[in-house]
Structure 1
Amino acid sequence: MPRFDDPTAPRGPIGDHIWPFLAAIATSSNDAIVGKDRTGKVTYWNAAAERLFGYPASEIIGQSIRRIIPPHRIVEEMSILDRVGQGEHLAHFETERITKDGRTIPVSLTLSPILGHDQTVIGISDIARDLSETQHFNGVLQQREALLSTILDSNPDGLVVIDESGMIEFFSRAAERMFGYGAAEVIGRNVSMLMPEPYATAHDGYLRRYRDTGQRRIIGIGRVVAGRRKDGTTFPMDLQIGEANVPGKRCFTGFVRDLTDREDRDRRLAELQAELMHVARLSELGQMASALAHEVNQPLTAVANYLRGMRRLLDDNSHPLLRQGLEKVAEQAERARGIVGSLRRLVKKEEHPRTAEDLEALVIETAALVLAGKNRRVALSLDIASDAQIAFVDRVQVQQVLLNLMRNAIEAMERSPEQRLKVSAQAIGERIEIAVTDTGPGLSDAVRARLFQPFVTTKAEGLGVGLSICRTIVEAHDGQLTVASEAGKGTTFLFSVPVNPPAPAFDLPT
């Protein structure tokens, strides 16, 4: 590039105006602009080049460009001179240069040939941009990305990020290990692939409802749900959902903890099971004590009376040992009656607090407990009406009823070719009617007539108190537990729970 006061610069009506304009641009540019001839001798050096390389123009013009070329870049510079000297343009060519104080700095070069009047290459223009800050920023960014990646990879909890439509955008290493998929297999696909039914079908509806209404029913709330691995097996997991807003889009983060083989799983499931079974144990003991007192007291009384009658038939002086033995047996029969009565008095019903509960969440959590970790072929479907979302119940007791009915339904379908379990709920007046339906073999009329009686069971190892307890719980909620069954087609258990708390009782003035 000729110097701007060079006599070879273009002149004439156009050149006289254009050339000073171009000179002003080059002088004020923030990029270093260097002109050199085809041998590498510096012919132009603007103010930005002075600041970048440390050489004033008066010191560098006329000198070889090699003064700022690192020794290991000399061959590269010779190649550049040759290529651009033949008319080639090079853009964003990253290399290194040496400053006057000896520092090696990264630069990005744009190199163009300078043409003479006869269109032959008479020099080369270098536009150099310092990459030090850019590389420093990129280095810091890479370090942060590496740190974040390391943190995510070392976190035992899986992280899944989805967009508003449910498509997976990020899948951590822990998530890969947990679900058995590689990130490349799931990114760009719907997150429902990681869920068993009925969660998979219902998931997009949850997203749409959130987008349409803004109701944050799942954001920031931990819940136990079921996940589906690549091999089709299901497992219980603790799911925490968050929302993130990035420029131009909104996404959702799901932190997933596998509860299958961890102490947290054992503790969490144990807590849930303990809550569910606590009422069951108390109710079961009460039912057993009541049934035992009713069924056993009369035979024990009869035994005691017969024994005393037999003792009186004996002469006072005959068979003293036999009389003594009969008296001891009668005493033990009375003692047995006392034990049964004490057991019945020991177990007393307690009032449990009732609260407004999300019925759908209650059913989903119960289903996760019933199905998690079991290699079953059961297809579960939920149909919770929009007006049947909230019920005013004792959460633990109603979950115990659902757990018992769903578990019974699954066991009843073990040999059925089609195993479908449906849980539905609809509002009827001030109550919600819940139905648990299976496709098992159904119940005979004889079994159905005695089904809710204590100690009546269709299982070889069952105690026959589960449904009796369920009926007691439902009746405590002012409802009824009923059953409808058709041989060969399945069974449906129906019960209802209140929507609102009971009205307070007021004493009438006297």
Structure 2
Amino acid sequence: MVRAMNGTGDEGSARLAEDSHSLEQALLGSILATVPDALIVIDERGQIISFSAAAQRMFQYAEPEVLGENISMLMPSPDRERHDGYIRHYMDTGERRIIGIGRLTTARRRDGSTFPIELAVGELRDQGRRLFTGFIRDLTETQRTEKRVADLQAELAHTGRVTAMGTLASALAHELNQPLTAIANYMEAGRDLLAVDGPVDREMLAEAMSESAAQALRAGEIIRSLREFIRRGETDRQPEPLRALMAEAAALAFIGIDSRGIDMDISVEPGVGKVLANRVQLQQVIINLVKNAVEAMAGRSMKMLRLSAMPVDGGKVEVVVADSGPGLGPDMSRTLFTPFHTTKPSGMGVGLSISQTIVEGHGGRIWADPSPWGGTAFHFTLDRAD
């Protein structure tokens, strides 16, 4: 009888352990299905073994299509070709370049378009196997962080110091294009939601309408803030984290443009922390430079876009936006920052002039030289906050 009781107890313990394992699996499945960031798990060969629901939405692949495939399929060049080497280097040396550190980089969707992401990588062991987990946040999906969206879309995107009415009108038209483009994108998304057969996703529709309203308010803020800036003739600055500021500006610049085939990366040296800046003015400089770079690379086979920042002498930080476009001719170099000089058929030639005004208002300077890929590299300096 004692053996029978012990047997029953063992069976009960086994059932409890099995029920607990099933509960853990169900809980994990529920978390992976609802977490807003994409989660991808790969093995030490770089093959995908788990692909969350958010990852499927972000990359436009169903999970069965990617299981067993190399993670490099989700990367643009040159990371696509180098990724297996990254893993081998870590396995051989143990040197952590990304694991436990994170980085800002670019990913590639199914349709070939690229987008800026924040990547955090972890490592675990399962039954003798080494696995790597990657949490990915799409920096273009600004609705994920309500506070950041409010900061980005409710403030001024243009405060160039101008004195003539003609320059003021042109500058306003140039800077209003950004929120108007965003409004058009959100309204088109709302129209597409209404056109879908079946029940309307009211939550997503409400988000699209809210974002459109926020961009409309931002357009009004542009006019108000520009008037205030002209009246004061000064720039209000405060300490701002440069890495986050660059990532957010790049994400905004990618709204409404064709990013397919663009290999983009953002690197900020460890010695760079915060800079003294008017957040929205500085972001507008980066938006202008990124959009110019993307337009310059249109139709080219190699599309390299690099944003970087490093400390320099004199308590300054140097920011660089470099591309692989056709570069600048001698004539264009001489009139680069002159208002109303442009090589674009539909351009007005005020973007770089405004950027120069903002940078000089921050106590820095801006210039251009050839990039490592034969395109153009724009440099500008800012004061470090320390």
Work out whether the TM-score is over 0.5.
Answer: yes
In the other structure, the counterpart of 2:135 is 254
SS of the aligned residue for 2:241 comes to strand
Q: Does 1:473 align with 2:350?
A: no
The 5 Å alignment of 1:38-57 reads: 48-49=2-3, 51=5
User: In the aligned structure 1, how far is the partner of 2:311 from the partner of 2:139?
Assistant: 35
Deviation at 1:424, TM superposition (A): 4.2
In the other structure, the counterpart of 1:440 is 325
User: In the aligned structure 1, how far is the partner of 2:253 from the partner of 2:94?
Assistant: 28
Q: Between Structure 1 and Structure 2, whose CA radius of gyration is higher? A: 1
SS of the aligned residue for 1:131 comes to helix
Deviation at 1:408, TM superposition (A): 0.9
TM-score by length of 2: 0.61
- Number of aligned pairs? 318
User: In the aligned structure 2, how far is the partner of 1:478 from the partner of 1:164?
Assistant: 49
Work out which of the residue numbers 294, 305, 320 in structure 2 matches 1:421: 305
In the other structure, the counterpart of 1:484 is 369
User: In the aligned structure 1, how far is the partner of 2:21 from the partner of 2:264?
Assistant: 47
The 5 Å alignment of 1:109-508 reads: 130-153=10-33, 158-161=38-41, 170-183=50-63, 186=66, 193-196=73-76, 218=102, 226-235=106-115, 241=120, 252=133, 254=135, 256=137, 264=144, 271-275=151-155, 278-280=156-158, 282-283=159-160, 286=162, 288-289=164-165, 291=167, 347-355=231-239, 357-359=241-243, 361-371=244-254, 374-381=258-265, 384-385=268-269, 387=271, 389-390=272-273, 392-394=275-277, 395-430=279-314, 431-484=316-369, 489-501=374-386
Cα 1:393/1:175, change in 2 over 3 Å? same
Deviation at 1:171, TM superposition (A): 2.5
What letter corresponds to residue 135 of structure 2 in structure 1?
Answer: G
What letter corresponds to residue 332 of structure 2 in structure 1?
Answer: V
User: In the aligned structure 2, how far is the partner of 1:194 from the partner of 1:227?
Assistant: 6
What letter corresponds to residue 369 of structure 1 in structure 2?
Answer: L
What letter corresponds to residue 132 of structure 1 in structure 2?
Answer: G
What letter corresponds to residue 439 of structure 1 in structure 2?
Answer: S
User: In the aligned structure 2, how far is the partner of 1:202 from the partner of 1:445?
Assistant: 39
Determine if contact 1:440/1:490 at 8 Å carries over to the other structure.
yes
| Percentage of matched positions with identical amino acids | 33
Determine if contact 2:112/2:261 at 8 Å carries over to the other structure.
no
Cα 1:397/1:196, change in 2 over 3 Å? farther
What letter corresponds to residue 48 of structure 1 in structure 2?
Answer: V
User: In the aligned structure 2, how far is the partner of 1:418 from the partner of 1:465?
Assistant: 27
TM-score by length of 1: 0.48
Which runs of 5 or more structure 2 residues have no equivalent in the other structure?
170-226
Deviation at 1:174, TM superposition (A): 3.6
Write the deviation string for residues 378-434 of structure 1: whole angstroms up to 9, x where unpaired: 3335565555x3352314333322221121122122244443334444443233333
User: In the aligned structure 2, how far is the partner of 1:429 from the partner of 1:400?
Assistant: 25
Write the deviation string for residues 70-110 of structure 1: whole angstroms up to 9, x where unpaired: xxxxxxxxxxxxxxxxxxxxxxxxxxxxxxxxxxx7xxxxx
User: In the aligned structure 2, how far is the partner of 1:482 from the partner of 1:451?
Assistant: 9
1 or 2 for the larger relative contact order (CA 8 Å, sep ≥6)? 2
Determine if contact 2:160/2:355 at 8 Å carries over to the other structure.
no
User: In the aligned structure 2, how far is the partner of 1:450 from the partner of 1:411?
Assistant: 19
User: In the aligned structure 1, how far is the partner of 2:151 from the partner of 2:165?
Assistant: 27
CA-based RMSD? 4.8
What letter corresponds to residue 442 of structure 1 in structure 2?
Answer: G
Deviation at 1:168, TM superposition (A): 5.4
Cα 1:132/1:400, change in 2 over 3 Å? same
Determine if contact 1:455/1:465 at 8 Å carries over to the other structure.
yes
SS of the aligned residue for 1:455 comes to coil
Cα 1:270/1:170, change in 2 over 3 Å? same
In the other structure, the counterpart of 2:207 is none
Write the deviation string for residues 21-61 of structure 1: whole angstroms up to 9, x where unpaired: xxxxxxxxxxxxxxxxxxxxxxxxxx5346469xxxxxxxx
User: In the aligned structure 2, how far is the partner of 1:492 from the partner of 1:236?
Assistant: 19
Determine if contact 2:42/2:131 at 8 Å carries over to the other structure.
no
